[in-house]
């Protein structure tokens, strides 16, 4: 999850967003029953307390994605990046989807567009 995604999620839930280190952003909020809910790019976890979070002792976990997933963006011939969702700066989950979008841009605009791994741009 990037900073913008974490801030948006925190705003939706009236929570907080923070960089947990190395550019890994989290969003969290205290639920009405006292549980601490933490969102990452990979999972949503429920903790009994902030201390339980610090000790990585989640009571419930929903895995959203594996760390091995690649995300793809469309890049133009000048290096400009086109995201699937420009507000959240997220890409497509498969190279095929991004390549399809790149072909569409190429046919509509005439310039060359390419699918690139998001972590490479």
Q: Which of 10, 55, 11 is nearest to 37 (CA)?
A: 10
Report CA-CA distances (Å) from 46 to 5, 32, 35, 91: 19, 13, 7, 27
pLDDT tens for the chain, 121 residues: list them. Answer: 889 999 999 999 999 999 987 778 999 999 999 999 999 887 899 999 999 998 889 999 887 765 556 789 999 999 999 988 777 678 888 888 899 999 999 998 889 999 999 888 8
CA 92/CA 99 separation, integer angstroms: 10
Tokens of 49: 């307390």
Give domain limits for the chain: 3-63, 72-120
């Amino acid at each position: 999850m990037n900073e913008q995604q974490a801030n948006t999620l925190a705003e939706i839930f009236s929570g907080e967003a923070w960089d947990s280190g190395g550019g890994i952003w989290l969003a969290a909020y205290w639920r009405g029953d006292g549980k601490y809910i933490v969102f990452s790019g990979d999972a949503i976890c429920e903790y009994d307390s902030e201390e339980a979070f610090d000790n990585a002792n989640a009571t419930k976990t929903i895995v959203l994605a594996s760390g091995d997933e690649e995300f793809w963006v469309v890049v133009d011939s000048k290096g400009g990046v086109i995201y699937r969702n420009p507000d959240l700066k997220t890409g497509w989950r498969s190279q095929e989807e991004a390549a399809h979008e790149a072909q569409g841009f190429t046919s509509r605009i005439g310039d060359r567009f390419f699918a690139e791994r998001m972590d490479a741009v």
